[in-house]
């Protein structure tokens, strides 16, 4: 996608705002006016944005200069509406709906985000009409003969798409559901059926779950946007995998990333700009630790937004970057914000009202706000809110940012900064049949009636069947279960003792069918095998296990004999009239090195046997 017109409400205005009311709204086919169909805020768009309906779809339009127009058709459905097992179903519908449009010089595309899907186009009026009609025709009758081909295209697309340094943060915050699914691959591209895809299109891509916007002073003639009736779906349910915040996780070298969930407000959007400037000044201009240091504010739903802050670092400067990052946030939430910092950020945001064709430029954000149910502000209202923001307001947002923060740092702890490590282990384990790892004596797989657990020295990892987001299956018996909390357990029959086909069958019967995702067979050489135990070298610096066993016997025998002698001497002195306890203590002290040597040889022998 090469246009930014679809970007949702980056600063809660002007795209989140609208102007005063219009007299004489056009009537719809059923006799109602656009004012009857719009929320109170949207009725106040006089002179900026007009609104009506087309085939039952709320439609916003405003003129733009130039011979071409741009249009976008939003649907309130996205990745966060899916499950892990069906992830990718919305993207599939988008691809299938566009297939019949074929090759064209027309600039058009589709985009699937967390909470919405957008079809957009730029061209002459007749081209835009043809595109929008084609999209709706495709949604009404998806070319299911293309399903398997489009699945493969999506998998290829995903393989070539980098996740970025913040890719894992949604998973840690939300788990393997809702807004956390953006951290995962589109598993549904393996198992979705035509009926599932068709049903998703019929229920989610409806006229009542859509909003259309067009950069034109009128609605073009010839539009046929007939879609099935439905209902407006609320924003995806918000889940949490973090028991407490602020929290931190470990990430790759070279990147420090913070995300925080904030209440949507004008002050929060201003704070994001202030934070980005502060990080740039502290970490790049003054410290010289980072090249990139920035912050971004992105609406999540009608009520909340995600603040993301990022800084890069060379390996030798990572400690300085982490410390500087935390110090900058501490300064801002302590209220040490200069009035000049606020004025600079505010001035930048106010400049958006100086752009030509303001109404057309704000259409996508107005449409998305209408789709999500966010408040609508007129430019005048948003200007007033920007001018009313104070340093104290920013301080409150800084505190909220820290209170809800999840910070990803390269391989170090942040307990010293008052953050809690995000949980890496489950709090409970299931009971059931125990299967020893063939690679590590300290690891055991438990397959029970309620779920599976992997028991490790650092604690258990558990996935319960009733909280299983997805289980992938392989013909060779491999099963990988992922819980709603994001924890995963992989059952590889080749790596654990006693994982028989009967145990795998019991596992398959326990996991809900809708959570099961079949994967294709693996090449035999890709089926994991236990690491081979290396034979001890015949000569050189290494010693054989037999040598360590002999040494253990010799040292242990010497310790036992000396211990027996110590016991005899102690008994004799205890029976004497005037015992010499100093001599007894000296004899026992000589026993201690022998006991220590015995323990060291035993530990070395055990390590050798494991290797």
- What digits encode the pLDDT tens for the residues 432-491? 999 999 999 999 999 999 999 999 999 999 999 999 999 999 999 999 999 999 999 999
Same domain, 178 and 46: yes
592: in domain: yes
Q: Which of 160, 189, 214 is the last residue of a domain?
A: 214
Same domain, 44 and 119: yes
What is the pLDDT, as a whole number, of residue 464? 98
Q: What share of the chain is helix, strand, coil (3-state, %, to 5)?
A: 45, 20, 40
365: in domain: no
CA distances from 357 to 50, 124, 216, 217 (A): 14, 18, 11, 11
The DSSP bridge pattern shows strands 57-61 and 50-54 to be antiparallel
What string of H, E and C letters represents the secondary structure of 308-375?
Answer: EEEEECCHHHHHHHHHHHHHHHHHHHCCCCCHHHHHHHHHHHHHHHHCCCHHHHHHHHHHHHHHHCCC
Same domain, 277 and 344: yes
75: in domain: yes
Tell me the CA end-to-end span of the chain in Å, nearest whole number. Answer: 53
Using alpha carbons, select from 103, 137, 345, 100 the residue that is nearest to residue 224.
Answer: 137
415 half-sphere exposure, CB direction, 13 A CA radius:
2
Same domain, 199 and 265: no
Report the C-alpha gap between 587 and 570 in whole angstroms: 9
pLDDT digits (tens, 9 = 90+) for 209-262: 999 999 999 999 999 999 999 999 999 999 999 999 999 999 999 999 999 999
Q: Are 608 and 545 in contact (CB under 8 A)?
A: yes
Using alpha carbons, select from 163, 233, 205 the residue that is nearest to residue 73.
Answer: 205
15: in domain: no
User: How many domains does one find in the chain?
Assistant: 4
146: in domain: yes
Which residues fall within 8 angstroms of residue 277, CB to CB, at 6 or more apart? 341, 344, 345
231: in domain: no
Same domain, 490 and 406: no
Report the C-alpha gap between 53 and 121 in whole angstroms: 19
What string of H, E and C letters represents the secondary structure of 151-191?
Answer: HHHHHHHHHCCCCCCCCCHHHHHHCCCHHHHHHCCCCHHHH
Q: How many CB atoms lie within 10 A of CB 276?
A: 20
Same domain, 456 and 597: no
The DSSP bridge pattern shows strands 304-312 and 444-448 to be unpaired
Q: What is the CATH number of the domain that holds 175?
A: 3.30.830.10
Q: What is the CATH number of the domain that holds 497?
A: 2.30.29
Helix, strand, or coil here: 433?
strand
Same domain, 191 and 46: yes
Q: Where are the beta strands (DSSP E) in 348-450?
A: 405-409, 420-421, 432-436, 444-448
Same domain, 322 and 443: no
Which residues fall within 8 angstroms of residue 466, CB to CB, at 6 or more apart? 450, 451
Same domain, 387 and 439: no
The DSSP bridge pattern shows strands 304-312 and 210-214 to be unpaired
308: in domain: yes
What is the pLDDT, as a whole number, of residue 591? 64
Which residues fall within 8 angstroms of residue 393, CB to CB, at 6 or more apart? 267, 270
DSSP for 486-526, please give it. S-EEEE-GGGBTT--HHHHHHHHHHS-GGGEEE-PPPPGGG
As a whole number of Å, the CA-based R_g of the chain is 32
Using alpha carbons, select from 251, 241, 247, 180 the residue that is nearest to residue 408.
Answer: 251
pTM of the predicted model, to two decimals? Answer: 0.81
All residue ranges of the chain with pLDDT < 70 are 1-46, 103, 105, 533-553, 555-556, 559-569, 571-588, 590-591, 594-611
Same domain, 145 and 50: yes
220: in domain: no
DSSP β-bridge partners for residue 454: 445, 461
Report the C-alpha gap between 256 and 271 in whole angstroms: 19
Which residues fall within 8 angstroms of residue 434, CB to CB, at 6 or more apart? 444, 445, 446
Same domain, 256 and 394: yes
Same domain, 552 and 579: yes
**570 lies in which domain range?**
545-610
């Amino acid at each position: 996608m090469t246009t930014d017109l679809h970007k949702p409400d980056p600063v809660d205005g002007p795209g989140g705002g609208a102007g005063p009311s219009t007299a004489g709204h056009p009537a719809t086919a059923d006799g109602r006016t656009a004012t009857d169909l719009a929320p109170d805020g949207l009725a106040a768009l006089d002179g900026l944005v007009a609104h009506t309906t087309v085939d039952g779809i709320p439609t916003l339009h405003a003129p733009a200069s130039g011979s071409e127009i741009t249009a976008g058709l939003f649907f309130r459905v996205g990745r966060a509406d899916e499950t892990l097992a069906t992830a990718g179903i919305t993207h599939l519908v988008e691809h299938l709906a566009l297939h019949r449009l074929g090759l064209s010089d027309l600039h058009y595309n589709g985009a699937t985000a967390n909470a919405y899907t957008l079809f957009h186009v730029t061209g002459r009026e007749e081209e835009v009409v043809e595109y929008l009609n084609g999209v709706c025709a495709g949604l009404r009758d998806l070319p299911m003969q293309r399903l398997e081909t489009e699945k493969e295209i999506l998998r290829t697309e995903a393989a070539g798409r980098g996740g970025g340094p913040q890719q894992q943060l949604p998973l840690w915050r939300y788990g393997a559901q809702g807004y956390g699914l953006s951290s995962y691959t589109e598993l549904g591209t393996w198992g979705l059926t035509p009926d599932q895809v068709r049903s998703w299109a019929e229920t989610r891509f409806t006229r009542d779950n859509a909003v259309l916007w067009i950069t034109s002073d009128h609605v073009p003639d010839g539009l046929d946007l007939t879609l099935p009736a439905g209902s407006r779906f609320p924003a995806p349910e918000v889940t949490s995998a973090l028991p407490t915040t602020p929290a931190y996780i470990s990430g790759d070298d070279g990147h420090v990333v913070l995300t925080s969930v904030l209440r949507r407000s004008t002050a929060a959007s201003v704070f994001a700009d202030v934070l980005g400037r502060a990080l740039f000044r502290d970490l790049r201009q003054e410290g010289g630790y980072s090249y990139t240091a920035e912050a971004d504010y992105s609406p999540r739903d009608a009520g909340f937004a995600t603040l993301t802050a990022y800084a890069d670092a060379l390996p030798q400067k990572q400690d300085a970057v982490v410390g500087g990052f935390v110090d900058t946030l501490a300064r801002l939430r302590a209220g040490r914000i200069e009035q000049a910092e606020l004025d600079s950020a505010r001035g930048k945001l106010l400049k958006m009202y100086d752009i030509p064709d303001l109404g057309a430029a704000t259409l996508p954000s107005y449409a998305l706000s209408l789709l999500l149910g966010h408040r609508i502000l007129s430019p005048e209202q948003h200007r007033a809110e920007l001018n009313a923001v104070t340093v104290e307001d920013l301080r409150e947002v800084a505190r909220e940012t820290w209170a809800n923060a999840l910070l990803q740092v390269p391989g170090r702890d942040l307990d010293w900064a008052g953050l809690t490590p995000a949980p890496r282990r489950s709090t409970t384990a299931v009971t059931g049949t125990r299967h020893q790892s063939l690679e590590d004596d300290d690891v055991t797989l438990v397959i029970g009636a309620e779920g599976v657990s992997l028991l490790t020295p650092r604690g258990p990892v558990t996935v319960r069947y009733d909280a299983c987001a997805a289980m992938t299956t392989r013909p060779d018996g491999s099963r990988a279960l992922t819980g709603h909390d994001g924890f995963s357990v992989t059952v590889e029959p080749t790596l654990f003792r006693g994982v028989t086909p009967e145990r795998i069958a019991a596992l398959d019967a326990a996991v809900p069918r809708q959570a099961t995702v079949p994967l294709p067979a693996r090449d035999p050489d890709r089926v994991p095998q236990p690491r081979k135990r290396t034979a001890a070298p015949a000569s050189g610096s290494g010693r054989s296990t037999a040598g360590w066993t002999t040494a253990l016997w010799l040292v242990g025998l010497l310790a036992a004999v000396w211990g027996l002698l110590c016991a005899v001497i102690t008994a004799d002195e205890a029976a004497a009239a005037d015992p010499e306890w100093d001599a007894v203590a000296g004899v026992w002290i000589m026993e201690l090195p022998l006991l220590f040597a015995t323990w060291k040889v035993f530990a070395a022998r055990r390590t050798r046997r494991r290797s």
